[in-house]
């Protein structure tokens, strides 16, 4: 019988701090909060510190709010890290399989959550799917988005550039043990430490009564695959609209771009950004891939601090 693994959601922050040399005199003040979507669903979030959140952080697809833990520790500011619909502790987005990865529908839910939990935030920071959701949010509720920070994402990502991500997401539905899950995760993240990946798994997966493990977001994945034509059509329509939304953004805009091979962006994406929004600022991270918050969290935190709160 597989051994039960103890998990304390708020008991691992000292590991983040130790790995990256951050001070850790006492555990940070972090608690679970939720926002009512008005239809029986709720979005869950982590609120850091007992003060009005100064930042909103949105994770990528198949991730959760804990992907920002090291960044949040380094920033040491009040902030709100939201679990997107169908991810982490949040309820699913609805019955259609496309909706879980749709930035436009996500933005509607996120707007309700931000209005309820972080209406005065100075910026919204979004990585991957969270970044696309940030763009959609800026179009739907511009009063909530005072500055934009995107982490390695822009509209129109090609399937080939994101193949390593989709291959990982479309992997096994369940795993016999935590070690099996860790082995697979290490294959797709060879530059990350086993300790950091194990933390990520504990936050992003849950052990079943029979000892097996499933991803938290996979709870909302349909048993039957979505119709590919429906997914493709919805994705292309969403991307076209999001590029138009980028062009309409009037607040300060920053793109943090990973430069390793596992980034999903190319020079053509950056060129299109400058064509659509000449005022956009781009900062390259040579030592990071797609998940800059995992590869170079301290450097990303310093950039966010300078861009959002600097002179």
- pLDDT tens-digit map of 164-204: 788 888 888 889 999 999 999 999 888 899 999 999 999 99
User: Where are the extended beta strands (E) located within the chain?
Assistant: 30-36, 42-48, 55-58, 79-82, 123-127, 148-151, 205-207, 213-215, 253-258, 281-285
DSSP summary character for residue 31: E
Token reading at 77: 């500011």
pLDDT at residue 225 in the model: 46
pTM, two decimals, is 0.94
Contact 63, 204 (CB under 8 A): yes
Q: Is residue 75 part of a domain?
A: yes
Query: Which entry of 90, 105, 290, 295 is annotated as an active-site residue?
Result: 290
Query: Which entry of 44, 105, 128, 291 is annotated as an active-site residue?
Result: 128
State yes or no: is 152 an active-site residue.
yes
d(CA 198, CA 182): 6
Helix/strand/coil for 34: strand
pLDDT at residue 260 in the model: 96
Q: Is residue 197 part of a domain?
A: no
Query: Does residue 104 have a pLDDT over 60?
Result: yes
Q: Is residue 181 part of a domain?
A: no
Q: Is residue 282 part of a domain?
A: yes
pLDDT at residue 67 in the model: 98
Q: Are strands 30-36 and 42-48 parallel, antiparallel or unpaired?
A: antiparallel
For residue 245, give its domain range. Answer: 13-161+228-309
Q: Is residue 142 part of a domain?
A: yes
State yes or no: is 39 an active-site residue.
no
Q: Is residue 169 part of a domain?
A: no
Q: Number of structural domains, the chain?
A: 1
Q: How far is CA 70 from the centre of its chain?
A: 13
Q: Is residue 92 part of a domain?
A: yes
Burial (CB < 10 A; 0-12, 13-18, 19+), residue 5, is: middle
Q: Domain with 302 in it: what CATH number?
A: 3.40.50.1820
State yes or no: is 42 an active-site residue.
no
Query: Which entry of 69, 91, 152, 269 is annotated as an active-site residue?
Result: 152
Q: Is residue 7 part of a domain?
A: no
pLDDT at residue 238 in the model: 56
Contact 291, 67 (CB under 8 A): yes
- pLDDT tens-digit map of 252-271: 999 999 999 999 999 999 99
* Buried/exposed 45-71: b ≥16 CB within 10 Å, e otherwise: bbbbbeeebbbbbbbbbbbbbbbbbbb
Token reading at 202: 């504990």
């Amino acid at each position: 019988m597989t051994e039960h693994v103890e998990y304390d959601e708020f008991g691992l922050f000292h590991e983040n701090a130790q790995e990256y040399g951050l001070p850790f005199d006492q555990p940070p003040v972090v608690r679970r909060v939720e926002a009512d979507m008005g239809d029986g669903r709720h979005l869950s979030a982590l609120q850091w510190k007992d003060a009005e959140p100064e930042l909103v952080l949105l994770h990528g697809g198949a991730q959760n709010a804990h992907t920002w833990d090291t960044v949040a520790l380094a920033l040491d500011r009040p902030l709100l890290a939201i679990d997107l619909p169908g991810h982490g502790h949040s309820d699913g987005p609805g019955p259609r399989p496309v909706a879980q990865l749709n930035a436009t529908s996500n933005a509607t839910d996120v707007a309700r959550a931000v209005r309820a939990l972080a209406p005065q935030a100075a910026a919204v920071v979004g990585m991957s799917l969270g970044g696309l959701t940030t763009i959609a949010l800026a179009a739907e509720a511009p009063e909530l988005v005072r500055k934009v920070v995107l982490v390695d994402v822009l509209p129109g990502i090609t399937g080939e550039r994101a193949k390593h991500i989709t291959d990982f997401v479309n992997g096994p539905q369940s795993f016999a043990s935590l070690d099996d899950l860790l082995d697979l995760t290490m294959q797709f993240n060879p530059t990350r430490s086993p300790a950091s990946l194990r933390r990520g798994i504990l936050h992003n997966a849950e052990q079943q009564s029979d000892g097996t493990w499933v991803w938290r977001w996979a709870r909302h994945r349909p048993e039957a695959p979505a119709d590919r034509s429906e997914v493709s059509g919805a994705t292309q329509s969403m991307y076209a609209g999001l590029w138009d939304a980028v062009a309409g953004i009037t607040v300060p805009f920053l793109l943090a771009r990973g430069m390793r091979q596992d980034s999903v962006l190319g020079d053509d994406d950056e060129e299109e950004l400058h064509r659509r929004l000449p005022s956009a600022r781009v900062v390259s991270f040579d030592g990071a891939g797609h998940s800059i918050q995992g590869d170079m969290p301290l450097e990303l935190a310093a950039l966010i601090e300078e861009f959002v709160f600097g002179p």
